[in-house]
Structure 1
Amino acid sequence: MERDSTRRWTLGDLSREVGLAPGYLAALFVQEVGVSPHRYLTEHRIRLARHLLATGDLPVTAIGLAEGFGSGQHFARVFRRVTGESPSEHRRSVP
């Protein structure tokens, strides 16, 4: 998932990639990683987006789309839920 984080992964896609049943994969993933595959992917995308916000000048919407979010609004909503701040607030807070 990390190598292709912009892909619209489903649990079925992931289970086919690794050759495990979806339910078993989800349970094993949570056991080993501590979060669901979906949450892991979301948090990974947000980490990448935070880096882009801090180091570049791409528009917020472009960063969200580049990281695999379906729209700028969805990206902003998920970013706030995960980090507690909007993408723009994050960008302004970075020295």
Structure 2
Amino acid sequence: MAERRLVLAVQGQTYGPMFDEKLTHAAWKSKPSWHVISLNDRTLSPAMEEDAAKRSGGIAIKLPTCHVAMLQDPEKVADVITEAARNSVKSAPKH
């Protein structure tokens, strides 16, 4: 809970112009992606999150968390990251 209060206290506003900047390459187009769908998110709708995961061809993992899933349930988010890393290593091209 202390971490949550700290984030809320120090996190600044989103840098608005970043939404106008053009990407030269989106990593999800050439690399596998995993998405945590926060089912209790009140900032982004879970349906919107699921749609983004589907459009990117990513793997969607649903968690009963709020918008900041990594603070509400860090162990489960860490599990998703660990699983993504394991699967990425398995699917990486051999040199």
TM-score of the pair, normalised by structure 1: 0.28
Structure with higher Rg: it is: 2
Q: Which has the higher helix share?
A: 1
Q: Which has the higher strand share?
A: 2
TM-score of the pair, normalised by structure 2: 0.28
